[in-house]
């Protein structure tokens, strides 16, 4: 077990390293000159040079890369070109909002998706199953702006139930009123992400359940005279949910950055929106920091998923 953890941790570190290396050089390929954005053109060339030096932009690219890696390992991600705030601070302001949206989305997707998937498996090839499969295709095909526009049109424009964007009404209130305000703001972005992700959960739960119900040990359990509910709860469910857990892990890992569209439409102050804003501002340090966070999120979720699956299915030996 310990050996597995060490090996897995090393592989994770390698993945993070490769990922941030690729993104570092991709970001540096951006054509425009960040200095022109940093420095007021009225200032003389000496000021510009001093500025380049201050941000380490005067050194060769490869040296900048090694400095970035060295500093990142010490927990220093540099300073934002745009706001002059430390990048770690910028990201820490955004991360909780992403986590909030993510937690709500995943919780509701699982709460809705697992029961529907199980029901579809139980009634497989009947009308209900076919209806669900069709809806799943629609969900997987969802174009986020379309869904968001539709929800905004109905709930924000016509019914005026929810706000059109942002995470709270400025200035932020206090106590209960503040939480209620945030809840009203998170409703539509979360609903958007739930609708576009729940299909995947339903599909994997259904297919996992269909596979497990074919196994010999389930037939044995039935032949002992146990009823449906008991067999499914004690025998089938744990194994049937393994694919669901794997796909949920992947979903969380990618959603940290994959919610760019949702966060942009709803002006949600998360990591995805931060990436979009930083591209237009040529804010290299923030982009690098954001991509580092994404890589870490993916790796952590992969490790957690493997552990969860191994815990559910004792046949999988982590040592190997």
Contacts with other proteins by CB under 8 A lie at: 15, 18-19, 22-23, 26-27, 29-31, 124-125, 134, 137-138, 140-146, 149-150, 152-153, 156-157, 164, 210, 253-254, 256-258, 260-261, 264-265, 272, 275-276, 279-280, 287, 290-291, 294-295, 298-299, 302
With respect to other proteins, which residue has the nearer C-beta, 49 or 122?
A: 122
Which of 90/287 has CB closer to other proteins? 287
Using DSSP's 3-state secondary structure scheme, residue 194 falls into helix
Could you tell me the smallest distance in angstroms from the CB atom of residue 183 to other proteins? 20
> Is residue 79 classed as helix, strand or coil in its secondary structure?
strand
Nearer to other proteins, 17 or 66 (CB): 17
In whole angstroms, the minimum distance from the beta carbon of 31 to other proteins comes to 6
The nearer residue to other proteins, 128 or 226, going by C-beta atoms, is 128
CA distance 299 to 16: 7
First to last CA, the chain: 9
Q: In whole angstroms, what is the distance from residue 13 CA to residue 255 CA?
A: 20
CB of 260 to other proteins, least distance (A): 5
- The residues, any chain, with a CB within 8 Å of residue 282's CB and separated by 6 or more, are 30, 32, 34, 37, 81
Instruction: Please report how close the Cβ of residue 133 comes to other proteins at its closest, in angstroms.
Output: 9
CB of 294 to other proteins, least distance (A): 5
Q: Which is nearer to other proteins, 190 or 294 (CB)?
A: 294
Q: b/e map of 5-21 (b: 16 or more CB within 10 Å)?
A: eeebeeebeeebeebbe
For residues 209 and 121, the answer to whether their CB atoms sit within 8 Å is yes
Dihedral sign from CA coordinates of 127, 129, 130, 136? positive
């Amino acid at each position: 077990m310990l050996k597995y953890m060490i090996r897995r941790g090393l592989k994770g570190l390698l993945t993070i390293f490769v990922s941030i290396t690729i993104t570092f050089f991709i970001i540096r390929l951006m054509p425009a000159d960040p200095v022109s954005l940093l420095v007021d053109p009225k200032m003389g060339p000496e000021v510009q040079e001093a500025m380049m030096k201050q941000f380490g932009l005067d050194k060769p690219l490869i040296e900048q890369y090694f400095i970035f890696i060295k500093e990142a390992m010490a927990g220093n991600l540099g300073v934002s070109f745009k706001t002059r705030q430390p990048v770690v601070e910028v990201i820490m302001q955004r991360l909780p909002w992403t986590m909030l949206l993510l937690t709500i989305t995943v919780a509701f997707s699982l709460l809705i998706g697992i029961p529907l998937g199980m029901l579809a498996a139980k009634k497989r090839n009947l009308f209900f199953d076919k209806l669900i499969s069709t809806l799943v295709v629609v969900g997987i095909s969802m174009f986020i702006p379309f869904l968001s526009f539709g929800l905004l049109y109905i709930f924000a424009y016509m019914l005026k139930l929810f706000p059109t964007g942002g995470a709270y009404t400025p200035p932020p209130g206090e106590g209960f009123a503040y939480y209620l305000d945030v809840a009203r703001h998170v409703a539509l972005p979360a609903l958007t992400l739930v609708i576009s992700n729940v299909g995947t959960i339903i599909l994997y739960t259904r297919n996992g359940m269909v596979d497990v119900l074919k196994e010999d040990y389930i037939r044995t359990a039935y032949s002992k005279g146990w009823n449906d509910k008991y067999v499914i709860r004690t025998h089938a469910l744990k194994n049937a949910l393994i694919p669901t857990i794997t796909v949920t892990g992947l979903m969380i890992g990618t959603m940290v950055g994959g919610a760019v569209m949702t966060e942009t439409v709803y002006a949600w102050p998360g990591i995805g929106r931060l990436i979009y804003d930083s591209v237009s501002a040529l804010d290299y340090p923030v982009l690098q920091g954001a991509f580092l966070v994404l890589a870490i999120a993916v790796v952590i979720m992969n490790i957690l998923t493997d552990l969860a699956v191994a815990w559910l299915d004792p046949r999988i030996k982590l040592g190997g």
